[in-house]
Amino acid sequence: MNNNNDKLYNLYLQLEPTIAELEEERLNSTDLKIARNITNLFFFSLKIMWLSLIGFILSLIFSFLGLKSEEIELLTSFMVFLPIILFLIVGSIDKYLKDQFTKKYKYKFKNKIIKEIINLLNQNLEYIADGYIDKEEFINSQLFWKPNKYYYGDDLIQGSICDCPIWLSDISAGWSDNDSSKEFSGLLFIAEFNKNISSPLGTDFGIGKHKVEFDNPEFNKIFNVFSNNIPEAFYALPTNVLERFVLLSKKSLEKSSIKNQKNVYDFFSVSPIEFSIIQNKLYIAIFKVEGFFEPPIDKSLFDYSIYEEYLTDLELVFGIVKDLKLA
């Protein structure tokens, strides 16, 4: 175990009474118990959706044979529409009850557990469960169009690492049309440092005219970096940082749905990560669906691997700041 893992285990032992309290709440929640029963009904209703198909086929057969009567039409309509209606009702109730429980549960978990893990990692960091990075910074990254449909987030971490100011939060942003590929759901990380890059560089092809080929074939396979100043790009992204980005990309890909879809501004990259350096700020966007610090609902909170994963994710992202020697 490294030093942080040792500290995490000790923290886990200290937090056991709090974890036990939250676990009891998770297991005994009336809303969640009802939701679990409804989930079973949900899958049952999914099975009887076959009745809809049978009803539709029967209606075609009766129509083809010229067999029509009010009773037959009523029966086939019943077989077609009732399972669909039941399916929709059950799904809506299940979602509502889970949402009722998770809203309160997540707030307690984040403020009692996540805050302590972040404090363990770095006492110069502040965690605000309902805070998030400003829209202006999101746009300044030059990785995104201006979101005019919605913009919100949570899980803000702010403070400093090695005297370098940083911000990190979950962000959800949407644009005006209905194309789901033009929506961003993921993590945005910003680090401010004392070097000023004269020419922007990043993984969006609109940032620069020239594609930069680094001395790391694996990095070049995963990322396409563009800049108008190639020597400066080499200066800004040293070898150890390229390796860190490769590791971050591989880990993020395991947790992201981006491998099954193409983002509107992710034309070339095979990674769930986009990044840019604009003047004196590094921006990293990690595409995913689930929230970064969302507590498990269907998994025991006594599972130590949950907390190890939180720590590993944070160390990986924050490690880029140290590797870049931004301070």
- Looking at 118-122, 150-154, 167-171, 248-252, which range is the least confident one? 248-252
Whether the per-residue pLDDT at 39 is higher than 50: the answer is yes
- State how far the Cα of 295 lies from the Cα of 202, in Å rounded to an integer: 32
41-59 residue pLDDT tens: 555 555 555 555 565 565 6
Mean of pLDDT values over 130-147: 91
Dihedral angle, C-alpha 40, 41, 46, 52, nearest 10 °: 160
Give the dihedral sign, CA 290/293/294/299: positive
- Residue 262's pLDDT is 42
Q: Would you place residue 302 in the very low, low, confident or very high pLDDT band (cuts 50, 70, 90)?
A: very high
- State how far the Cα of 168 lies from the Cα of 244, in Å rounded to an integer: 17
Q: Kind and range of the H or E element at 159? A: strand 150-161
Which residue ranges make up each domain of the chain?
3-102, 125-324
Q: How far is CA 199 from CA 209, 226, 227, 267, 327, in A?
A: 11, 10, 7, 22, 20
Percent of the chain with pLDDT over 90: 28
Q: Are 223 and 253 in contact (CB under 8 A)?
A: no
- State how far the Cα of 55 lies from the Cα of 258, in Å rounded to an integer: 38
Q: What pTM was computed for the model?
A: 0.74
70-84 residue pLDDT tens: 655 555 565 556 666
Q: Which amino acid is at 1?
A: M
